[in-house]
C-alpha cells in the first residue's frame, strides 16, 4: 500500500488501507513498534501532490493516538533546492535515492530508540 495506489485511488481509501495494515501489524505479538513513512510529492503533478497532502494529513491524524506507531516524514523532499527527480518526474535521481535511504535509516533508528525507551 503506498504511492502507486494513490495514483488511482482516493487518499482516504489508501489511508484507511494503511491504517488497517498498521492495526494488523500491531496484532502480531512480536511487533512492538510500527513506523509509517509519509508519501513524498512528485514533480509537476499538482493533482497527485494534492492527494499526497490529504493522505499525509489523514495518516498523521489517524495514527497519532497509537502510542507504538510513528509517522516519518522524509526530510529534504518537501522543499528541495535541487529537483530530486529524473526527467520522468516520478523516479528519483541517484543522489535523491541516497537521501531517501538515509531517511529510511533515520526511521529505523527512531524505531530502535522507541524500543529502548519501552524496554
Over residues 5-20, the pLDDT tens digits come to 998 899 999 999 999 9
Q: For residue 23, give Cα distances in angstroms to 29, 33, 103, 112.
A: 12, 11, 24, 20
10 neighbors 50 (Cβ within 8 angstroms): no
Higher pLDDT, 108 or 43: 108
Cell triple for 36: 509509517
Query: Is residue 78 very low, low, confident or very high in pLDDT (cuts 50, 70, 90)?
Result: low
Query: Is residue 71 very low, low, confident or very high in pLDDT (cuts 50, 70, 90)?
Result: very high
Q: Span 4-117: which CATH code?
A: 3.40.50.1110
85 neighbors 91 (Cβ within 8 angstroms): yes
Please say if the pLDDT value at position 64 is more than 80.
yes
89-109 average pLDDT score: 92
The residue ranges of every structural domain in the chain are 4-117
> What is the rounded distance in angstroms from the CA atom of residue 64 to the CA atom of residue 107?
16
Task: State the pTM of this model.
Answer: 0.88
Amino acid at each position: 500500500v503506498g504511492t502507486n495506489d494513490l495514483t488511482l485511488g482516493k487518499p482516504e481509501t489508501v489511508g484507511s488501507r494503511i491504517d488497517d495494515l498498521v492495526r494488523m501489524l500491531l496484532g502480531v505479538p512480536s511487533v512492538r513498534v510500527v513506523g509509517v513513512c509519509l508519501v513524498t510529492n512528485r514533480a509537476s503533478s499538482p493533482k497527485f501532490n494534492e492527494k499526497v497532502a490529504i493522505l499525509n494529513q489523514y495518516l498523521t491524524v489517524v495514527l497519532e493516538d497509537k502510542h507504538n506507531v510513528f509517522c516519518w516524514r522524509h526530510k529534504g523532499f518537501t522543499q528541495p533546492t535541487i529537483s530530486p527527480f529524473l526527467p520522468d518526474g516520478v523516479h528519483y535521481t541517484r543522489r535523491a535515492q541516497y537521501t531517501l535511504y538515509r531517511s529510511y535509516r533515520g526511521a529505523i533508528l527512531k524505531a530502535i530508540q522507541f524500543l529502548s525507551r519501552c524496554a
